[in-house]
Amino acid sequence: MKKIILYLIFIIISVNLFSQNKYWVVFKNKKTTFNPYKYFDKKAITRRLKNNISLYDSTDFPINKKYKLIVNNIVDSITSETRWFNALAVYADKSEINKIKKLPFVKYIRPITLSTYIAEYDYDTTLTYNKEQLRTMQLQEMGGEYFAKKNITGKGVRIAIFDGGFPTVDVNPAFEHVRKNNRIIKTYDFTKKRKNVYYSISHGTMVMSNICGIVNGKKLGLATDAEFLLAKTEIKTEPFSEEENWLAAVEWADKNGADIINSSLGYTKQRYFPWDMNGTSFVAQAANLAARKGILVVNAAGNEGDTRSWKHLGTPADADSALSVGGINPETNTHISFSSYGPTADKRLKPNVCAFGKAVVSGKNKLKIEYGTSFASPLVAGFAACAKQTRPDITNMQLFNEIEQSANLYPYYDYAHGYGVPQAKYFTDNLRNSTSEKNFEFIDNYTSINIKIINDKNNGQNILYYKIQNDNGIIDEYWAVKIKKNQSVTIPKKNKYKGKTLIAHYNGYNNSIKIKQ
């Protein structure tokens, strides 16, 4: 019996000591040289110069070859690397990691944990709208006709798409206009380290269609004349590599001149806790760094709004400089149930804007209706490309801010809708959705405050948005209510509301009142 116990202890120790796990090995420095004119696409050089970004930023320098060789001689294998974070992803056991920790040029080692999801929400339901109605609505909701009138189609704007695959994009009629004009600039499969991306998960095909697709002469997305970089970063079963691939893809997109990145991807409970959604993950840091390099990063908020275990957005949608996109239901024009909620764990506003979370897409061979913030995000990415075309000298963060300001609720916001749905007329005709025409008033009673609708020109066809907010801009509670004609809404003066502000938005009009007892 004693021999058996000792043998089992030996096995347990051996497994713990020699089992292979994945880690980031982060270096202290680079001590290497770099020629940006040999490394970057001309469009990437132009973007940097236009945004006053140094061509010799140390984050772009390659990893020190000597450091890489030394680590490679210790570990089982190196699976990827990131210039921006000066790190290698390695498979290693504990004894190998202990050796690496002692190297003088190693800053720290960080475990790589489990998986990802594609921000898609797939379920069956009774469809109120047919495909043609919904296809028209998903662009009309953003005022797409304003772009169309001025022939704004995202021309000259380069968009990188990170996803699980793009099957049939090389033959699908929905993208014939893109192929015909050679506007798929580059492709790369980060899962197999090769150029072919036209296979595997059709999610990327559907996402791309909501940026630029045309079927039977009708648009599925607004940026039909944009250029594209297609990156396959996801596979169905791999438990580790997707976040590494996202990091590699964002550096590749930067190198190859992307103006905009669409990422309908997210990382949540498989590897993080809700309190980690504070912009500190590697992919969130990479999204912020991409923004520093002049790229607008558009990311789906996620589809866990109706789950008990999570509810909140994933990473990199939590990145401060990522334009995070939530979903609305086209039947109500308010939050669609599955769309993940903000704020971030450190109480920053997310999502930033929203679009239809139920959309018509082009799959491998036919049009269909799909659900998910996966499709809200590319609708906004296509919008952003068109907005950029109207203001070619605008910086990415100026564009970020103006997209927020163009949205139909601005300056009102909440954690389900952000600032609302971006509007094209803001960019084409300098028209805002806000109005000074008073259409509701506050009636302050002893125990409650009433919001009374007045001068309602839409006979109760609009949504009243209202919230309780503290002096730091953090929302305690918020609501969206469809208003019937001459309706009033009553908010009781709870003790917890004392000293806070009630803010309301109705049909473009915003107002607020301090809550007193």
The span from the CA of 195 to the CA of 83, in Å, is 21
Secondary structure class of 265 (helix, strand, coil): strand
DSSP state of 194: B
Identify the pLDDT of residue 123. 39
* pLDDT at 122 > cutoff 60: no
The span from the CA of 65 to the CA of 169, in Å, is 37
Identify the pLDDT of residue 402. 98
Contact assessment for residue 36 and residue 61, using Cβ atoms and an 8 Å cutoff: no
The residue type found at 235 is I
- ω into 239 cis (within 30 of 0): no
List pLDDT tens digits, range 48-75. 999 999 999 999 999 999 999 999 999 9
Average pLDDT, the chain: 90
Contact assessment for residue 105 and residue 297, using Cβ atoms and an 8 Å cutoff: no
The span from the CA of 29 to the CA of 191, in Å, is 28
Identify the pLDDT of residue 244. 87
Secondary structure class of 297 (helix, strand, coil): strand
Region at 154 (left for phi over 0; alpha for psi -120 to 50; beta for the rest): left
The span from the CA of 505 to the CA of 339, in Å, is 21
* Virtual torsion, Cα 416, 420, 422, 426, nearest 10 deg: -160
CB-neighbour burial class of residue 74 (10 A; exposed 0-12, middle 13-18, buried 19+): middle
DSSP-derived pairing of the beta strands 158-163 and 214-215:
unpaired
* pLDDT at 383 > cutoff 80: yes
* pTM assigned to the model: 0.91
DSSP-derived pairing of the beta strands 322-329 and 296-300:
parallel
The span from the CA of 314 to the CA of 301, in Å, is 6
Tokens in use for 314?
A: 């994933």
Contact assessment for residue 226 and residue 382, using Cβ atoms and an 8 Å cutoff: yes
Range name among 14-18, 352-356, 389-393, 412-416 with the lowest pLDDT average? 14-18
* pLDDT at 18 > cutoff 70: no
Residue 393 neighbours by CB distance under 10 Å? 7
* pLDDT at 12 > cutoff 90: no
**What is the crossing angle of helices 242-255 and 282-292, to 10°?**
10
Identify the pLDDT of residue 484. 81
The residue type found at 431 is L
Split at pLDDT 50, 70, 90, the class of 414 is very high
- Sequence-distant (≥ 6) Cβ neighbours of residue 293 within 8 angstroms: 47, 48, 51, 53, 57, 254
Contact assessment for residue 367 and residue 375, using Cβ atoms and an 8 Å cutoff: no
Rounded to whole angstroms, what are the CA distances from 200 to 218, 226, 469? Answer: 27, 24, 46
The span from the CA of 330 to the CA of 333, in Å, is 5
Split at pLDDT 50, 70, 90, the class of 230 is very high
Bridge partners (DSSP) of residue 492 are 448
List pLDDT tens digits, range 297-323. 999 999 999 988 889 999 999 999 999
* pLDDT at 6 > cutoff 60: no
Region at 445 (left for phi over 0; alpha for psi -120 to 50; beta for the rest): beta
% of residues, the chain, pLDDT over 90:
78
SS (H, E, C) 65-129: HHHHHHHHCCCCEEEEEECCCCEEEEEECHHHHHHHHCCCCEEEEEECCCCCEECCECCCCCCCC
The span from the CA of 169 to the CA of 250, in Å, is 21
Identify the pLDDT of residue 335. 97
Tokens in use for 481?
A: 């209510």
The residue type found at 124 is D
Average pLDDT over residues 209-218: 95
Tokens in use for 48?
A: 């940097």
Contact assessment for residue 353 and residue 194, using Cβ atoms and an 8 Å cutoff: no
Tokens in use for 396?
A: 């990415």
* pLDDT at 265 > cutoff 60: yes
The span from the CA of 315 to the CA of 97, in Å, is 27
Average pLDDT over residues 201-226: 96
Split at pLDDT 50, 70, 90, the class of 461 is low
The span from the CA of 380 to the CA of 376, in Å, is 6
The span from the CA of 353 to the CA of 298, in Å, is 10
Report residue 150 CA to chain centroid gap.
Answer: 28
Identify the pLDDT of residue 4. 45
List pLDDT tens digits, range 152-208. 999 999 999 999 999 999 999 999 999 999 999 999 999 999 999 999 999 999 999
